[in-house]
Amino acid sequence: MKTGSMLYEGKAKKMYATDDPAVLLVDYKNSLTAFNAQKKAEMEGKGRLNNLISSRLFEYLNKKGIPTHFIERIDETRQLVKKVNIIPVEVVTRNITTGTLCRRLGVEEGMILPSPLVEYYLKSDELGDPLILEDHAILFNWSTREELDKIREITLKVNQLLKEYFEKLDVILVDFKLEFGKDPEGNLLLSDEISPDTCRFWDRSSGEKLDKDRFRKDLGNVLGAYQEIWSRITSKGE
């Protein structure tokens, strides 16, 4: 597969065309950003770990029948995916209360929710990804009722599968963000990445944070936490 021109450079990844118009090459960067890119850093080795972790999780989800964009990992920092039109809605699922949920609603940190909470945010750097209702997405044509029903169904399945996966690694899946897109045939595919940049992971016994919160909150050893997730995946995961 030949690498073509760079189509897009985002905060965490570069997307390249390939000789197949239906396939993109994704190159994971070492940049870390938080608070809508107001806080930035470079971290040698981060791109590699996120590529390894995300590839492995997408392989697992593909195997479990979740329709995803992921094709294959080609080396340490790069993977091939099916090109989609991204639906501009970020889907956040929460099992435990923390982060913006607590800040926005004043609810206690660390509450185990009786059932998963699914929230939608408009994907917009300019607006700082505001929280939206399903009705906003439908009325402004960002998605359709049918798509959102399907997205919610797939998201809840992914939550169940990832929760089980990480339980085996003694890791609690606190919350995470998903993106969905549509291929040229109109199929809805889980897209983007699943990594410590986009999930909150807590060590089951110590409660230690093993994700980007270490960067957001200046807790130190960010790369060590990402490495710990990858080590547990390779030693105990599928």
The stretch among 11-19, 38-46, 114-122, 201-209 that binds ligand ADP (CB under 6 A) is 11-19
Which residue's CB comes closest to ligand UDP?
99
Q: Which stretches does DSSP call E strand in 70-208?
A: 70-73, 78-82, 85-86, 89-96, 112-122, 131-132, 171-182, 188-191, 199-203
Work out what residue 24 binds among ligand UDP, ligand ADP, none; the CB cut-off runs from 5 to 8 Å by kind: ligand ADP
Nearer to ligand ADP, 162 or 172 (CB): 162
* Residue linked to tokens 């790069």: 78
Look up residue 158 and give its two tokens: 């992914």
User: Which alpha helices (H) appear in the chain, and where do they start and end?
Assistant: 46-63, 99-105, 134-139, 145-167, 213-216, 222-236
The stretch among 7-15, 77-85, 179-187, 194-202 that binds ligand UDP (CB under 6 A) is 194-202
Nearer to ligand UDP, 43 or 74 (CB): 43
Tell me: does residue 45 bind ligand ADP (CB under 6 A).
Answer: no
Give me the 75-114 binding string for ligand UDP, x by CB under 6 A, dash otherwise. ---------------x-x------xxx-------------
Q: Which of 213, 183, 207, 14 is nearest to 82 (CA)?
A: 183
- Minimum separation from the CB atom of position 85 to ligand UDP (A): 19
Residue 177, by phi and psi: left (phi above 0), alpha (psi -120 to 50) or beta? beta
Q: Are 50 and 226 in contact (CB under 8 A)?
A: yes
First to last CA, the chain: 27
Tell me: does residue 209 bind ligand UDP (CB under 6 A).
Answer: no
> Footprint of ligand ADP on this chain (CB under 6 A)?
8, 10-13, 15, 24, 69, 81-84, 86, 179, 181, 191-192
